[in-house]
Amino acid sequence: MTDGQLLFAYGKLRLPDVQLDTFGRLLDGDDDVLPGFTIDHRDLEPPRPSHPVLRHTGDRFDKAVGRALRVTEDELDAADEFEVESCRRISARLASGRLAWVYVAV
């Protein structure tokens, strides 16, 4: 069902109910780490709660813990719609050595 794409989820996209709402299914994945990044929170316009965002630090001691989820191209499009507009999707190397799409704050 997947086309080999990985999406690093570090916040709400790890939650089963969010995956079901966003993708229509629960996603397979593995725990992984993204070095050189930290997880911050961005306040959104009410009534939406704050949203976790990745910030690149470049510091080898910083890391974001999450999951590398296997997704299709259509599911990447759905994730693009889910993420806040102040984030952009980039490719990054995880601690496992795999490349994954990640959403980072701009």
Long-range contacts, 88-92 (Cβ 8 Å, 24+): 92/8, 92/34, 92/37
Residue with the two structure tokens 């949203």:
51
Measured at the CA of 31, the angle between CA 26 and CA 32, to 5 degrees, comes to 130
Rounded to the nearest integer, the mean pLDDT of the chain is 89
For residue 51 the two structure tokens come to 């949203």
CA distance 48 to 1: 32
Distance between CA 72 and CA 45 in Å, rounded? 30
pLDDT (0 to 100) of residue 38: 95
Give 41's pLDDT tier (boundaries 50, 70, 90). Answer: confident
Domain locations in the chain?
11-105
Residues 19-37: pLDDT tens digits?
999 999 999 999 999 999 9
> Regarding the domain delimited by 11-105, which CATH topology (the fold level of the hierarchy) does it fall under?
Hypothetical upf0131 protein ytfp (3.10.490)
**What's the pLDDT score for residue 50?**
65
Q: Half-sphere exposure of residue 41, counting CA atoms within 13 Å on the CB side?
A: 8
The pLDDT assigned to 48 comes to: 54
